Structure 1
Amino acid sequence: MFGRTIDLGLGRKYTGKTKRLINKDGSFNIVKRGREMRLYDTYQYLSRVSTERLALFILATYLLINLLFAFVYVWCGVENLRGTDPSLYPFLNAFFFSVQTFTTVGYGVMAPQGLAVNLVVTLESLLGWVGFAIIAGVVFSRFSKPNVRILYSNNAVITPGNGVNRLQFRLANKRNNVLMEMEARVMLMMQDVHYDRHYYNLKLEQSSLHFFPLDWTLAHQIDQDSPLYNIGQQQLEERRAEVLISIKGFDETFGQVIHSRFSYTFDEILWNARFKKAYDTDAEGEIILNLTRLHETERIN
């Protein structure tokens, strides 16, 4: 988040706070208002929400449903439930009977009697089947989806060389699985004096890899065709520049296409710097990739 006053020219000054477009975890920093939340959007929401929120949602829904049905059983009369525990309050007996009905456990101790209670049991059993089917589908989709763990360098760098500057950053796969057919796309986002955001494609010197066993340094040559041509560090700050990155590849383990997103804001770009070598070769000729050195840079005088 950035908050100091920036002079945008034409008598306009920016004094508010701006957050990055893409967060470090790859999520977009956007809040949508005015959209309609429909019932069939629930599955999509549960598939994307964090594991902690999903677990909390499941627990809260489970307790809420059983509490509601417990009130219904109390209203129908707990005396219509055979095998209740006399040492417990009537509401607790109704709650535990609801839990057994909803989960179809059926210990054989408590049982309904009477038309009203049996009708409620019929409804709750159906709701339990549907609910567990939805939750099972959500949990399976989350565990079967490839968990991408691509490590990006903490900073991007502007590296001079042969009379031309290059914007560079690098990444590596934190897992031991094999990623193949990797493709990268990079865009530059900058704001104008009206705070409107504009996007520019950055051409990469090597935008694809057949195999991704080591680190991968992506470079954009800042020549006359580049949107970064003749733009300095101060101009990037004034225009709240952000480099947006999209990575796509094929995960051989899961047999699925994987996606990863990342970004670098203007203050995360180091000028006149280059990356240090992140891998070495041992005595047996084995290549050792040190992920902790992926972020190491050095200044160029």
Structure 2
Amino acid sequence: MWRQTVDPGLGEKYNSRTKRLINKDGTFNIVKRGSEPRLYDAYQYLSNVSVGKLLLIILSFYLLINVMFALLYVGCGVENLHGVDPNLPPFLNAFFFSVQTFTTVGYGVLSPHGMAVNLIVTLESLLGWVGFAIITGLVYGRFAKPNVRILYSNHALITPTTEGKILQFRLANKRNNMLMELEAKVILMVQDVNYVRHYYNLKLEQSSKHFFPLNWTIVHHIDKDSPLHGLTPKQLEKQRAEVLVLIKGYDDAFGHHIHSRFSYLYDEILWNVRFKKPYDADDTGEIIFNLLQLHETEPVEGELPV
């Protein structure tokens, strides 16, 4: 067990406004301030933004560079560009010449003339090589990077059994690739009256799995040694309990280790229910696994009072 101290001066304001530690997409709900941004951090940032945002950044960079060099060409005089279209405004002629120079297309119609324009062309050509090299690296890195798509059950369950109670939840691989050598670590985070976060490792019935073709039900037995022993739903809510899930494995398709994170808040834990079986066999004996049934539960007969 370990703990993380929070400024008690925040009082009830902290307790009422704090959000979950791990978001549903696996990111941590933490905003860092006070760190000075560096140019070397740009590649890491661009490697982790969404695809739509990355495309928007690339398009903006592409247009901005060409507009900037088009203004330089206009400043040097469009008459120094041979083969311009007289039906287009000077800026558009300069812009299209910049696009051809930046991308090294060179259709052979437009060409520079004069020392000043050729110096600008030399600089833009170099910038084009560097820019496209960086963009190529970003695109390749995103495609080559293992993209984990692990589906977690919508709720964690506390289920009564003949031997006591268990905490359980399920996960499955949404892709057809094979994940191997999976390891799971589950941590209970609670907050005391002094707004100090305490972390407890939960002992699992099975903490590793060699193959992952179907679902994996992760189970923690709530015995006398469990930090969940004797707790009720109201007590979990009072302590703002959150079950943190960390998954590590090996992606056979990419040949890389993968990591996945998830969490269940106190109000995402259902009591006295159990999971339904998400798969069955057809007439030929082939197993049919329905991901949509991963979340389905049913009441336990003779449910215990909470």
TM range (shorter): over 0.9
Structure 1: how far apart are the matches of 2:95 and 2:194?
59
Residue 8 of structure 2: aligned partner:
none
Structure 2: how far apart are the matches of 1:157 and 1:83?
73
| 3-state DSSP of counterpart to 1:60 | helix
Residue 147 of structure 1: aligned partner:
147
CA offset at residue 50 of structure 1?
0.4
Unaligned 5+ runs, structure 2: 1-10
| 3-state DSSP of counterpart to 1:168 | strand
Structure 2: how far apart are the matches of 1:266 and 1:156?
9
| 3-state DSSP of counterpart to 1:16 | helix
CA shift in 2, pair 1:30/1:13, >3 Å: closer
1:93-138 Cα shifts (integer Å, max 9, x gaps)? 1111111111111111111111111111111111110110001001
CA offset at residue 238 of structure 1?
1.3
| 3-state DSSP of counterpart to 2:199 | strand
Matching of residue 19 in structure 1 with residue 22 in structure 2: no
Residue 53 of structure 2: aligned partner:
53
Residue 76 of structure 2: aligned partner:
76
1:79-103 Cα shifts (integer Å, max 9, x gaps)? 1111111111111111111111111
Residue 280 of structure 1: aligned partner:
280
What amino acid sits opposite 1:195 in the alignment?
Y
Residue 65 of structure 1: aligned partner:
65
| 3-state DSSP of counterpart to 2:23 | coil
Structure 2: how far apart are the matches of 1:16 and 1:101?
57
CA offset at residue 163 of structure 1?
4.1
Residue 269 of structure 2: aligned partner:
269
Structure 1: how far apart are the matches of 2:161 and 2:222?
11
Matching of residue 214 in structure 1 with residue 204 in structure 2: no
| 3-state DSSP of counterpart to 1:274 | strand
Residue 92 of structure 1: aligned partner:
92
Structure 2: how far apart are the matches of 1:16 and 1:187?
22
Structure 2: how far apart are the matches of 1:133 and 1:175?
31
Structure 1: how far apart are the matches of 2:128 and 2:52?
22
Residue 190 of structure 1: aligned partner:
190
Identical positions, percent: 70
Structure 1: how far apart are the matches of 2:16 and 2:240?
12
Q: TM-score, normalised by structure 2?
A: 0.91
Aligned length: 290
CA offset at residue 167 of structure 1?
0.7
Residue 249 of structure 1: aligned partner:
249
CA offset at residue 156 of structure 1?
0.3
Structure 2: how far apart are the matches of 1:204 and 1:168?
10
Residue 259 of structure 2: aligned partner:
259
Residue 123 of structure 2: aligned partner:
123
What amino acid sits opposite 1:254 in the alignment?
F
Structure 2: how far apart are the matches of 1:180 and 1:124?
48
| 3-state DSSP of counterpart to 2:292 | helix
- The worse-fitting range, judged by mean Cα deviation, of 280-289 and 104-113 is 280-289
Structure 2: how far apart are the matches of 1:61 and 1:194?
49
CA offset at residue 34 of structure 1?
1.0
| 3-state DSSP of counterpart to 2:106 | coil
1:138-166 Cα shifts (integer Å, max 9, x gaps)? 10011111221111111000011134211
1:225-275 Cα shifts (integer Å, max 9, x gaps)? 222122211111112111111111111111111111111111100011111
| 3-state DSSP of counterpart to 1:133 | helix
| 3-state DSSP of counterpart to 2:154 | coil
Q: TM-score, normalised by structure 1?
A: 0.93
| 3-state DSSP of counterpart to 2:248 | strand
CA shift in 2, pair 1:65/1:196, >3 Å: farther
Over the aligned positions, Cα root-mean-square deviation in angstroms equals 1.3
Structure 2: how far apart are the matches of 1:195 and 1:76?
65
